[in-house]
Homo-oligomer: A and B are copies of this chain.
Amino acid sequence: MAKKEFSGYKGEALEVIKRVEAEIGDIIRVTKNREVYEGILIPCSEYDNEKYLVIKLKSGYNIGIRITPNTKIEKIGKGAKPAFALPPLAGQNPELPKVAIISTGGTIASRVDYRTGAVRPALTASDLYSVVPELANIARIDTQILFSLFSENITPKHWTKIANATAKQIAEGVDGIVIAHGTDTMAYTAAALSFALQNLPVPVILVGSQRSADRPSSDAATNLIGAVTAAAKAPFAEIAIAMHETPSDNSITLHRGTKVRKCHTSRRDTFKSINTTPIAKIQDQKITMATEDYKKRDQTRKLALKPEFNEKVALLKFYPGMNPTAIDWYVKNEYNGIILEGTGLGHVSEYCFDAIKNAVEHNIVVAMTSQCIWGRVNMNVYNSGRDLLALGVIPLEDMLPETALVKLMWIFGQTKNVEEAKKLLKTNIAGEFSPRTLSEKEGNE
């Protein structure tokens, strides 16, 4: 008999596994508080590995079950050990759409290797098949590891590389692209790609997972199935983020890349569409469009690749007592643009006006968003707003501050002309502005 595999488990958890003569890959049944869970025993990572069993349920969802005195565990089958060999692309079902998965790192790429229990920083096609075998029924999949970074370390230079890698895959004729990415700055990257990859022929779907390495559960599989489904079959050709709709595992929401924000540090449904509805929703691999306002998939369309970004653009969040000479610092350092995250409808204190005036006079593009996050900047209502407009500050309607930052970085990657930059900033390029809603128009909010 081969040596049994218990990757990751220790203490009490290891004991109960040994007691029922199970090992990693076996099918087990856990009964606790009248709930019954059946699935494949998978490795547990570092944290809490003495107290939890981690099971991969049929749904693809991994659940961590705390062992208590009244937890009953049974081995109900020798599982097919999840150690698939990578089927070469040529060997995959030729009738399925072709999807490229580009991995940039993040939790999703670190966690999916349950076979070894090790936290691996890369996502290979082989890892994918071993953890999410359902993918083989959705698409022919080719994977590429572009880099292995947690997303707080992704910079505008990486956005350029991701845009170029995506364009290359599109040129090779894939039916859709999935980009595995850390969730921390995923919305910034989604916005960046929305400007860098215009006139898309196929969908480009960013996906991540919120379950971090110290938690005995993961949303990676469900999110990946959703993202690959969208890349393979969605009728739209836009940049979108695919993540859980709710904390439970029933549905995936597809958010437009310029209108989405990470809104919770740890929940699975952390991403929210802001000031707009999501593009679509996926349940049981079925895509339901949530809007009629989307760009249609058209594989004959020619991509416009504009991957350059300029980092001399700043995002400044205003607060009471903010030192206006902090604004002067950006002038001295020859920045091209400043996105202000003002209060309410788009205000900053009047003691900042001189510094802003000075910035505008130095040909810096200064534009206004709101730290409220929801709603629309309207600088015509109060004197502060009107004064700022008179100083040359550009109101950015309902654009997210993060999207505004990324857009202005992108704009100065395309042009050095300030007037052209202002014009581009006010032009709706990738759905970053939403039209006013009926209730906004009628003042009935």
Contact = CB atoms under 8 A, between A and B. Distances in A.
B381 A212 contact: yes
Given A262-B344, A380-B214, A383-B150, A321 B311 contact: yes
A344 B262 CA distance: 8
A420 B445 CA distance: 46
A148 interface: no
Interface string A282-308: 000000000000000000000000000
A150 B351 CA distance: 13
Contact of A151 (B321, B343, B351): B343
A152 B265 contact: no
Interface stretch (A127-135, A181-189, A250-258): A181-189
Given A320-B154, A405-B319, A263 B213 contact: no
A372 B262 contact: yes
Given A343-B184, A343-B262, A376-B266, A319 B323 contact: no
A347 B150 contact: yes
A207 to B, nearest CB: 16
B375 A265 contact: yes
A245 to B, nearest CB: 14
Interface in A337-371: 341-351, 370-371
B443 A152 contact: no
A169 interface: no
Interface string A393-410: 000000000100100010
B374 A263 contact: yes
Nearest to A217: B443
A382 interface: yes
Nearest to A262: B372
B247 A320 contact: no
Given A151-B343, A264-B374, A314-B323, 4 more contacts: A153-B350, A216-B443, A264-B375, A317-B341
28 contacts: A64-B443, A152-B347, A152-B384, A154-B320, A155-B349, A155-B351, A159-B320, A184-B347, A211-B443, A215-B443, A262-B343, A262-B371, A262-B372, A263-B374, A264-B372, A265-B344, A265-B370, A265-B374, A265-B375, A265-B378, A270-B372, A314-B322, A314-B323, A314-B326, A315-B317, A319-B402, A319-B405, A326-B329
